[in-house]
A and B are shown apart, each in its own frame.
Chain A
Amino acid sequence: MRYLTARFGHLLVVLFAVTFLTFMLVNVLPGDVAYDMAGLDASEEEVEAIREEIGLNRPALLRYVEWLGGILTGDWGKSFITSEPVWDAIKTRFPVSLELVIVAQIMALLLALPLGIISALRVNSRFDRVVAVGGFFCLSVPNFMMAIILIYVFGLWLNWLPVTGYEPLSEGLWANLRNFILPSASFALAEWTILARVLRSDMIGVLQEDYISMARAKGMPVRRILWVHALRPSSFSLITIFGLQVGALIGGSIIIESIFALPGVGRLLIQAIFLRDFMVIQGCVTFIAMAYVVINFSIDICYALLDPRIRVARSHG
């Protein structure tokens, strides 16, 4: 418990630092949003009025404190361009990003679990080596490249799946899900290799434990040993990596969401970057960093749940 509290404090400081850094990066650096908002042929007075209106004339530090207070009370500010409240914009787009990441990670696990387990069971067999080499190849395909390949093969050539667009869940589960298959696969086809690799190396160690030999000796079927007795103790590194990947995918969703035209947080963010809509940028970055922190903390809780020994202090790093 004490470990978790310390971790939580650490993560809060990280979150604070992230918001401060983005705020300063976005605000102190050159490029005056007031000029962009006023338009090309605005007079100096008009620009000045806009600056006054959105509070750009006050010191950055003061604005930061106000903005942070707003975040804590649920007021994330308004978009400079559409004047839509930032929190509403994020709230409506977040489920799309979440679904993308969840479907991607389920796909990755579906590949990684069987391949990793069988590789661990037959170390250095032909199967093991094929999986390892195949993993290396998959890992070397950047996700935007994977997206293009998938679009070409399944969208244009075989014509099985839609390449762009989004249907809300109210249109039916399949209508909604089929738009996520290709984007999620762009992630999953690379992510599975890391998961499988970690699972394999942990499981090789676990399979040499006495209680596995015991289970085998009393005639328990291998399948049951693997899935029931060996998987749980082998899954610690898997969970860490899994969590880190979820964090990375939320960031990586920027590019995938814009390729497949999915209206998620990533797409909102990149549009805001191109439009220099600073409030939205700050909101999105803060939101993504929050998600990262929450995920990291959940990993720690998962550890404690899976392995009672962890509840005693565990050094991080």
Chain B
Amino acid sequence: MADTPLQDQSLQTPQASAQDQENRAAQEAARKRGRFGLFFWIPSAWLGFIIFCAVFADLLPLLPNDEMDFLALAAPPMATEEHFLGTDLQGRDILSRILYGARVSLTVGMVATAIGMTFGLMIGLLAGYYRGRVETAITLGLDTLLALPGLVVLLLASVIFGGSLTIVSVSLGILLIPPFARISRANTLNFAQREFVVAAKAMGARDFRIIVFEILPNVVLPVAAYALVLVALAIVIEGALSFLGLSVPSPTPSWGGMIAEGRENLDDSPHVSFIPAIFMFLTVLSFNLVGDTLRSKLADLRESAL
């Protein structure tokens, strides 16, 4: 495509109609790509549903999530009238526990991602803009964070401080800083050399102004595009922690904890483990699918803008 403008105009005329057609086909393809498919809408609907249930769990007609029904221990789904998804080994309503458990997973997922993204952005911007020693120091710090076995840090934190929503969210958030910092650093490197940044510098803008008003708006989108995928990752890690019994303390329901509890009697009542597992799987899958769609859509958008 680089050599066409140099060619003689007259040489191109026979090909013009063919090129037009090609253009039209490309536009058609672009429009098709611009639409969101079923792999976007179904997961979005699921996420909407789960978030709605988690937020309004108190208002929904649910059984209390810690009440034991001794007449229906480990009842399979649909077996009794009041327990739609059955009960766990202690006779507690699974549906209610899942929806209350969704609160834990979603809160940790979102808060941790928000923390990781905020600090990751700041660190990445600094590293990408100042380069030199700042960059070396930051890369060292990030590599150190990556070399620490993540789950171990979380386990240590929850053993030392006691597991709670805050501790888990914050320590998980810190562990999510490196991926965000890397993406924002790479993007900052891209933009720090662009004309508008040079122009701002020439006009005497201070570094702070350049970073916040010139570079940040360009870096935020590609970084945010990764956020949903990392929410999925955070939910998985929280699940692993609560599976080991080191997330929120025991009577509070959490998906990982429910899966772990069902393990004791997997042979006779597999539903106790598998129903929360299905909910967790669908939620993680949905975050992955929606996040991936948005990310590729954003990449297309930026490509066509260039």
A residues touching B (Cβ–Cβ < 8 Å)?
10-11, 13-15, 17-18, 21-22, 25-26, 29-31, 133, 136-137, 139-145, 148-149, 151-152, 156, 250-252, 254-255, 258-259, 269-270, 273-274, 276, 281, 284-285, 288-289, 292-293, 317
Contact = CB atoms under 8 A, between A and B. Distances in A.
Overall SS of chain A's interface: helix
7 contacts: A14-B140, A29-B161, A142-B239, A144-B239, A251-B149, A274-B159, A285-B148
Contact of B240 (A14, A17, A142): A142
A285 to B, nearest CB: 6
Nearest to B185: A317
A274 B185 CA distance: 38
B261 to A, nearest CB: 11
B259 A144 contact: yes
Contacts of B161: 29
Contacts of A148: 259, 262-263, 266, 273-274, 277
B152 interface: yes
Given A21-B144, A317-B139, A136 B160 contact: no
DSSP class of B's interface residues: helix, strand, loop or mixed?
Answer: helix
B244 A255 contact: yes
B88 to A, nearest CB: 15
B232 interface: yes
A145 B151 CA distance: 16
A136 B285 contact: yes
Contacts of A22: 148
A152 B236 contact: no
Nearest to B140: A13
Interface in B142-192: 143-144, 146-153, 155-156, 159-161, 182, 185-186
B215 to A, nearest CB: 18
B151 A252 contact: yes
Interface size bracket, B side: 35 or more
A317 B274 CA distance: 41
Given A142-B280, A145-B259, A152 B152 contact: no
Nearest to B292: A136
A-B pairs with the 3 shortest C-beta distances? Answer: A251-B149, A140-B285, A17-B144
Given A136-B289, A140-B232, A144-B240, A270 B186 contact: no
Contact of B156 (A26, A30, A136, A250): A26
A10 B239 contact: no
Contacts of B152: 251, 254, 269, 273, 284-285, 288
B284 interface: yes
A152 B239 CA distance: 19
A17 B140 contact: yes
B243 interface: yes
Contacts of A289: 147-149
Given A14-B144, A252-B151, A140 B281 contact: yes
Contact of A18 (B139, B144, B186, B232): B144
A10 B141 CA distance: 11
Contact of A273 (B144, B147, B159, B266): B159
